[in-house]
Amino acid sequence: MARFYGAVRSDSAYGVNIRWPDPATVRVEYLAADEAEQLHDRVALAGEDIRVALQPGIYDSIAAGGGMLYNRQRNGH
């Protein structure tokens, strides 16, 4: 699918957001990244061919500050 290093969603939130704009497309949204590499533009999921699209330049104003794993652990997930 994709590989990221240093991806951010806002000035204080690291990571990427995953969106499904339609059943056959997954979109990986992020503001910026030190490195972003799309490894595959399509993947198979449950026998379906899914298009993978990277979308830089998307600012997430509601993303919690810090890293995604840190926030999951802090919230008990």
- Say if 26 falls within a structural domain: yes
- What's the pLDDT at 77? 52
Domain that holds residue 41: 2-72
- The strand pair at 25-30 and 48-56 is best described as parallel
With a cut of 60, say whether residue 9 has pLDDT above it. Answer: yes
Taking the CA atoms of residue 50, residue 54, residue 60 and residue 66 in that order, the dihedral angle to the nearest 10 degrees is 100
pTM of the model: 0.81
- What's the pLDDT at 71? 47
Q: Which two tokens stand for residue 9?
A: 């969603």
Q: Which two tokens stand for residue 71?
A: 């926030």
**How many domains does the chain fold into?**
1
With a cut of 60, say whether residue 74 has pLDDT above it. Answer: no
- Say if 28 falls within a structural domain: yes
- Say if 9 falls within a structural domain: yes
**Tens-digit pLDDT profile for residues 11-70:** 999 999 999 999 999 999 999 999 999 999 999 999 999 999 999 999 999 988 877 555
How many angstroms separate the CA atoms of 77 and 34, rounded?
28
How many angstroms separate the CA atoms of 15 and 36, rounded?
11
- Say if 63 falls within a structural domain: yes
With a cut of 80, say whether residue 2 has pLDDT above it. Answer: yes
How many angstroms separate the CA atoms of 59 and 69, rounded?
19
- Say if 40 falls within a structural domain: yes
- Say if 35 falls within a structural domain: yes
- Say if 77 falls within a structural domain: no
